[in-house]
Structure 1
Amino acid sequence: MYKSEKLANNLRLLIENGTWKANEKLPSLRHQAEQSGLSLITVMNAYQELEAQGLIYSKEKSGYFVVAQELSNNEQNQNVTLNPKIEINSTVFQYLKSIQPDHLIPFGTAFPNSQLLYSPKLIQTLGQLARHRLSYEQTPSLPPGHFALRKLIAQRYCMQGIQTDPSDIVITSGGLDALNLSLQAMTKTGDYILLQQTIFYGAWQAAERLGLKVITIPTHPEHGIDLNAFEQAIQKYPIKVCLLMLNCHNPIGFTVKDEIKFQLAKLLHQHEIHLIEDDVYEELYYDQKKPLSMKYFDQQNLVLHCSSFSKTLGAGFRIGWVYAGKFSEHIQHIQLMSTLSVNPFIQNALVEYLSHRHYEKHLKNLRVSLQRSKKQFYQYLKENLPMGCEVEYYPAGYFLWIELPVYIDSTHIYQALLDRNISIAPSILFNANFAKQNNFLRINCSFDFNDRIESALSHVVECIYNAINNNHLR
C-alpha cells in the first residue's frame, strides 16, 4: 500500500469515529506533513483521495474541511458523485471532427435537420438588408447587443409571466457562448459546481476549461431530476453554482414538471445558490403550452437563463442570449475580452424578422415536422431493436436516448457505424463516469423518414445486434 493510501485510511478512521467533526478544518498540508513525517505531495494525494470519496471538501485559500457525517453513508454516496478533475475536451474534439464529413448520415449531430431551419422569410430579410448598408453598419456592435433585439427577447419573457427589462439581456454568439460566459462570471478555478450526471458535453468542457470541481446528481426515472440527491449535494459540498437542463433535456429528452421546478427553486433560495439554466430547446415542445423555465420561479434573481436561436433558425446564425440580470455588466466585460461582439448584421435581420411574427409561424411548422419524424424513428426502433434495448421517448425536441445491454460499449457502435458513413453520439460524451459504463447512445431523429434514413437505421440496428452476438460468443 502506498504511503498516501495509508495516511488516507488513518484520516478516514478519525472522521468516521467522530474525532474530527462535521465542517471541522483539517490540519494544513504543511502541518500534516510535519506531524506525519511525510512529504507535501504524499499528504496532498491523501487529501485528494478523501475528497474524491466525499469525506472532505476544499475551500480556496482556506484548506480542507470534514463533510457532515450523516450525509456520507454508502447509499448517499451512490447518488452524489464528485468529479474533481474533468478530462473530456479531447474526446469531444475528436468526436466532432469525425462527424464533419458531408457524406455521413448525421444521426450524431446536435442540430436539427437544416432543411427544417433557415426560414425563407429570414433569408429574404437578410437579402434585403444586405442591399442597404446603412441598415446594419449603424447597428451597435459592442455588448450587450442590439437594443431592439434585446427588447423583443424581453417581451417574449414578459409573455410567459416573467417581468423582464432589455437591460437584463446580453446577446451572445450562440447558446454555448451564453453558458460559458455565465459560468466564467460566476466561478473561479477550484470552485464546486453541480451538474446532472448526464448532460450536454459543452457543460463538461466548460468545467474542464475553468478548472472546476463537478458534483453530479443522477437522473430521476420519473421526475428527470432527483431532488433528494440535489439537496444532499448542496448540503454536503460548498456548491458555487448549478448548471442544469430542465426543458427538453439533451441527450435524454425529458422536461421536468413545474411542481418539481418549484421545489428546486425553493432549495436554491433556501441555500442561496445560483443556477445557470441551459434552455436552448425551449421552443421545441409538442404540447399546446410552452414549459416554464426556472426563471419563472426565481424570486431572488438567482437564475441566469441561457437560450439561443441556433436550434430553431439554423446553426449558421449563432445568436444566443443570457438573461443575466444583476450579472449583466460583469458578463459584458468578460465578453468584451473574449468573443467581443455578435454579428450586427444578423442581429438587425432578427429584429426585422421577429417584429413581423414570422418566427411564430416558423416555430409552429418546425414543431409539427419534428414530432412527426421523432414518432417514426421511435416506432421503427421499438419494432426492430433486439431484446434488452430500451428507447426513451419524450414529447419534445428531436433526440432519442437508447439504452443498450449493460455489457455493450456504445463507442464501439459509433466506430462501426462511421465505417458505414453513419454517425451517432455515444454516451461517453455526456457523462464523465460513462468511461466505465458506456451503454447508451443518442440519435438525432429530425430527418424525413425516407428510404435512405430507414436504411441507415437498419444499419444502426444491425451493429447493435452484432455487438450483442459478439459478446455472447466470447
Structure 2
Amino acid sequence: MYKSEQLAHNLRLLIDNGTWPAHSKLPSLRQQAQSSGYSLMTVMNAYQELEAQGLIYAKEKSGYFVAEHLSTQVPQTYSVVSLNPKIEINSQVFKYLKSTQHQQIVPLGSAFPDHQLLCPSKLIQIMGQLARNRKNYEQSSNLPPGNFALRQLIAQRYCMQGITTDADDIVITSGCLDALNLSLQAITQPGDYILLQQTIFYGAWQAAERLGLKVITIPEHPQHGFDLEAFEQVIQSYPIKVCWFMLNAHNPIGFTVSDEIKYKIAKLLHQHQIHLIEDDVYEELFYGSKKPLPMKYFDQQNLVLHCSSFSKTLGAGFRVGWVYAGKFSEHIQHLQLMSTISANSLIQNALVEFLSHHHYEKHLRGLRRSLEKHKKQFYLYLKQHLPVGCEIFNYASGYFLWIKLPDHVNSIEIYEDLLEQHIGVTPSPLFNILQSQQHFLRINCSFEWHSDIAHALDQLSQSIQNHLKLRQITHSA
C-alpha cells in the first residue's frame, strides 16, 4: 500500500468513527505533514483521494472539511445456500424489458448510464471519418477472435494492472453478455452444477435456464459482500463445474469485494480446480484513484475467464465486449461463428483509433466524476424522502442504488404502480428468484438532476407509503 493510501485509510477511520464530524475542518496540509511525519506531497495525495471518494470537500482559501457522511448500508445475510435445479425466468425478463422500452418512461430501471454521458463526440467524429472508407467495413480481419489491434490495446490495459496478457488471450464479442454466454457454453453441459451469487444480474439466470444447468446460490455477506464460508461449504459439497460471479461494482447491490477475499476465492478455486466466469462490465466505473483488481489478477492456473465491455462506458450502440479466454479461446471462437459471428467491424476499427490516442481515458475521468455526483444527489434525496423502514445500499462505484423496502412491501407491485405513471424501476425478482427476497428495488442514478427525476422519486416514495398503509389496514382488519 502506498504511503498516501495508508494515510487516507487512517484519516477515513477518524471520519467513520466520528472523531471528525461532518463539516469539521481538517488540519492543513502542512499541519498534517508535521503531525504524521509524511511529506507534503503524500498528504496532498491522501486528501485528494478522500475528496475523490466524497468524504471531504475543499473550500477556496479555507482548507478541507468533512463531507456529510453517506453511510453505507450492507445487506443482511439473506438465507442459507439455495439449490435451484429448474430455472424459469426468461419470460419474466422479456416482459420487464418490453414494458420499459417506451420513450416517455423515466428510465430509472435502465441498465445503462444516461446516454447524455456516453457516445463521446470524438468517437462519433472518428466513426464518421472511418465510415467514408470502404475498407473499414471489411469483415475478414474482424472475424473471431476479432480486430488484432483492438485485442492488443485491451491486452495492454490488463498489463497495466499487472496481469500478463497478450492479444491471443482475448476474444472480441458483441458485448459483455455475449462474452459471458459464450464462456458458460464453452465450459458446461446440460445438467452441470454452476454456482451464482444469490442476488445477481438476471443474464446469469437466463443463461442457466437456456443451457439446462442446475444452479446453486450463496447468500451475500452482510459486511464483505461475498460469503467466503458459504462458498467453501458449497464447493466441498457439490460437483460445481463453474462459478459466475460479479465482484466489482456488483449489479444490483453495488459492493466491491476486497482484494483479500478475492485472493482467498482464487486459492479455493485452484484447490478444487473450478473455473470462474467473471462479469466485470462495470470495472471502469469506480470512484477515487485506484481501479479495483479483477479476479483474473489472482488467477495462477488460468481458471478465470474475465468478461467486460465498452457498452457501459461508451453507450449501448458501441456493443463491443471481450473475454480473456486463455485456453478456451478457440472453443469460444467456434461457438461465436455459429451464433453472433463477430462484433461490428466499423466499431472495432473506431475503437482502435479512440483508444490509441488516449481519448478513452479522458472520457472515463469525466464519466466517473458525473456518475459520482449524480449518485450522491439521488442518495441524499432518497434518504430524506423515502418512508421509514426503507434502507439504501450506497457504495463508491457505478450508478445503481439498491433499496430495501419495508417488510411485506412487494417490489413487483411498486414497479407496476410506477409503470402506470411512466416511471421505470427494476424489481428484485429479476435478480433473486427466492420468494422471500421480493422487497428490493434497483434505481439507476446516472441522470442529471431535474424536475422529472425529483417527481419520479417522489412518486416512488408515495407508492411505498400507499402500500404500507394498505398493509396496515389489511392487518388491522
TM-score category of the 2 structures, normalised to the smaller one: 0.7 to 0.9
In structure 2, what is the equivalent of residue 318 of structure 1? 319
1:466 is matched with 466
Structure 2 gaps of 5+ residues are 1-76
Q: Aligned-pair distance for 1:406?
A: 2.1
* Aligned counterpart, 1:185: 186
TM-score by length of 1: 0.83
Partners of 1:130 and 1:311 lie apart in 2 by: 23
1:362 aligns with 2:366: no
- Is 1:442 equivalent to 2:442 in the alignment? yes
**Shift in Å, 1:141:** 3.0
Residues 25-424 of structure 1 correspond to what in structure 2 (within 5 A)?
A: 78-137=79-138, 140-424=141-425
Deviations along 1:125-150, whole A, 9 cap, x unmatched?
Answer: 00000111124426613100000000
Return the alpha-carbon distance in structure 2 between the equivalents of residues 260 and 138 of structure 1: 42
Give the total of aligned pairs: 398
One-letter amino acid of the structure 2 residue matched with residue 466 of structure 1: N
Structure 1 portions without partners, runs of 5+: 1-75
Instruction: In structure 1, give the amino acid aligned to 2:461.
Output: V
Calculate the TM-score normalised by the size of structure 2. 0.82
Alpha-carbon distance in 1 for matches of 2:376, 2:343: 36
Shift of 1:342: 1.2
User: Aligned partner of 1:369: which letter?
Assistant: S
Following superposition, the deviation at residue 219 of structure 1 comes to: 0.4
**Residues 142, 348 of structure 2: 8 Å contact kept:** no
* Contact 1:139-1:348 within 8 A present in 2 as well: no
Matched AA of 1:389: C
Secondary structure in 1 matching 2:401 = strand
Runs of 4+ displaced beyond 4 Å = none
Q: Distance in 1 between matches of 2:138 and 2:130?
A: 10
Rounded Cα–Cα distance in structure 2 between residues aligned with 1:84 and 1:139: 41
Conserved 8 A contact 2:78-2:219? no
Aligned residues: CA RMSD: 1.2
1:395-450 Cα offsets, whole Å, 9 max, x none, are 000000000112110000000000110000000000121x3431000000000111
> Percent sequence identity over matched residues?
69
Q: Whole-Å Cα distance in 2 between the matches of residues 304 and 312 of structure 1?
A: 21
What amino acid is aligned across from residue 373 of structure 1 in structure 2?
A: H
Decide whether the 8 Å contact of 2:136 with 2:345 is kept in 1: no
CA distance in 2, matches of 1:237, 1:275: 15
For 1:416, give the aligned amino acid.
D
Cα offset, 1:317, TM superposition: 1.2
**2:437 match: secondary structure:** coil
CA distance in 1, matches of 2:372, 2:136: 38
CA offsets, 1:52-77, max 9 Å, x none? xxxxxxxxxxxxxxxxxxxxxxxx99
Q: Distance in 1 between the 2:283 and 2:156 partners?
A: 16
Change (3 A) 1:270 1:343: same
Give the conservation status (yes or no) of the 8 Å contact 1:190–1:211: yes
Change (3 A) 1:204 1:267: same
**What's the offset of the Cα at 1:261?**
0.4
Q: Secondary structure at the match of 1:199?
A: coil
Looking at structure 1, the residues matched to 371 and 142 of structure 2 have their Cα atoms a distance apart, in angstroms, of 34
Name the CA distance, whole Å, in 2 between partners of 1:135 and 1:77: 51
Contact 1:196 1:219 in 2 (8 A): yes
Task: Tell me if structure 2 keeps the 8 A contact 1:169–1:325.
Answer: yes
What SS does the aligned partner of 1:140 have?
A: helix
Separation of aligned partners in 1, 2:201 and 2:411: 17
**Matching residue's letter, 1:157:** Y
Structure 2 contact 208–214 (Cα < 8 Å) conserved = yes
After superposition, the Cα gap between the structure-2 partners of 1:154 and 1:450, relative to the gap in structure 1 and judged at 3 Å, is: same
Q: 8 Å contact 1:385–1:461 — kept in the other structure?
A: yes
Displacement, 1:104?
0.2
| CA offsets 1:218-250 (integer angstroms, 9 cap, x no match) | 000111100000000101100000000000000
The residue number in structure 2 matching 1:455 is: 455
Amino acid at match of 1:467: H
Q: Secondary structure at the match of 2:276?
A: strand
Which whole-Å deviations, capped at 9, do the CAs of 1:279-333 have from their partners, x for residues lacking one?
0000000021000000000000000000000000000111000000010000000
The answer on whether the counterparts of 2:78 and 2:220 sit within 8 Å (CA) in structure 1 is: no
| Whole-Å separation in 1 of the counterparts to 2:133 and 2:396 | 42
**What is the Cα deviation at residue 366 of structure 1?**
0.2
How far residue 452 of structure 1 moved from its aligned partner, in angstroms, is 1.5
The one-letter amino acid paired with 2:463 is C
Distance 2:94 2:78 in 1: 31
Alpha-carbon distance in 2 for matches of 1:138, 1:437: 46
Q: Secondary structure at the match of 1:277?
A: strand
- Following superposition, the deviation at residue 79 of structure 1 comes to 2.1
Q: SS of the residue aligned with 1:93?
A: helix
The one-letter code of the counterpart of 2:232 is E
Task: Output the CA distance in 2 between the equivalents of 1:409 and 1:248.
Answer: 25
Give the SS at the match of 1:79: coil
Give the secondary structure class of the aligned counterpart of 1:275. Answer: strand
Q: Does the 8 Å CA contact 1:409/1:437 hold for their aligned counterparts?
A: no
Letter in 1 for 2:371: L
Q: What is the identity, as a one-letter code, of the residue corresponding to 2:451?
A: D
